[in-house]
Structure 1
Amino acid sequence: MLTVVAYGLAILINALCLLIGVRFLFQPYAAATGYGVPATTDRAYLTIKGVRDGTYGLIGLALLAFVGARAEAWFMLLAALAPLADTVIVLRNGGTKATAFGVHFATAVLVLLDAALLFAV
């Protein structure tokens, strides 16, 4: 049961990263608003965010499929730095605390929880 939860959560997190990346590529301004720091210019930076998040999702799925839980756990442990940094970015750039902590910090906690579960299987 633990294996199913750990793998299922990893697949969900990676798929969501991929979807967020795609949204930043195709709806960059709406995605930026959802991120917590609305943007009206700098489409290039929004594209970079889309590529980054999409790449994280693809790497995570590849690690899980071709290497296994332990490699995915290390990846999740390190990848949690991104939503932690996003928390600070939102707070420093006028975003709400609700978005910073309710979206980004909560994501970091979920990713760290999944890393722990993956290390346990």
Structure 2
Amino acid sequence: MLTALAYGLAIVLNLMCLLIGARFLLVPRAAATAYGVPAEKDRAYLTIKGLRDGTYGLLGLVLLAFVGARAEAWFMLVVALLPLGDTLIVLRNGGTRAAAFGIHFATAVIVLIAAALLFSV
């Protein structure tokens, strides 16, 4: 049961990264608004964010499939730094506390939970 939960959560988080990355590539302004800091001009930076998030999602799936839970756990532990950084970015750039903590900080907590679950299997 714990193994299924750990793998399931890791897969969902990685797929969400792929989805967020695709959204930043396809509809960058809407994605930026949902991120918590609307962007009017910085399309290049939004594209970079899309590629970053998509790549992390794909890398996570590859690690899980070909290396295993322990490698994915370490990956998740490191990747948790990204939503923590996103929390600060939103707060420093006029975004709401609700977006900063309700989206980004909460994501970091969920990623850390996923890492802990993966370490335990």
Task: Say yes or no: TM over 0.5.
Answer: yes
Alignment of 1:48-67 (within 5 A): 48-67=48-67
Mapping of residues 1-121 of structure 1, within 5 Å: 1-121=1-121
Map Cα deviations across residues 30-79 of structure 1 (whole Å, 9 max, x no partner): 00000000011010000000000000000000000000000000000000
Output the CA distance in 2 between the equivalents of 1:52 and 1:114.
20
Provide the rounded CA distance (Å) in 2 between the counterparts of 1:39 and 1:58.
25
SS of the aligned residue for 1:40 comes to coil
Please tell me the residue identity of whatever aligns with 1:43: R
Secondary structure, in 3 states, of the residue corresponding to 1:55? Answer: helix
Q: Measure, in 1, the Cα distance between the counterparts of 2:55 and 2:83.
A: 14
Q: Which runs of 4 or more aligned residues in structure 1 lie more than 6 Å from their structure 2 counterparts after TM superposition?
A: none
Give the superposition deviation at 1:101.
0.2
Where does the alignment leave 5 or more consecutive residues of structure 1 unmatched?
none
CA RMSD of aligned residues (A): 0.2
Give % identity: 77
Q: TM-score, normalised by structure 2?
A: 1.00
Q: Distance in 1 between matches of 2:67 and 2:50?
A: 25
In 1: Cα distance, 2:48 partner to 2:114 partner: 26
Number of aligned residues: 121
User: Given residue 56 of structure 1, which amino acid in structure 2 is its aligned partner?
Assistant: Y
Q: CA deviation at 1:118?
A: 0.1
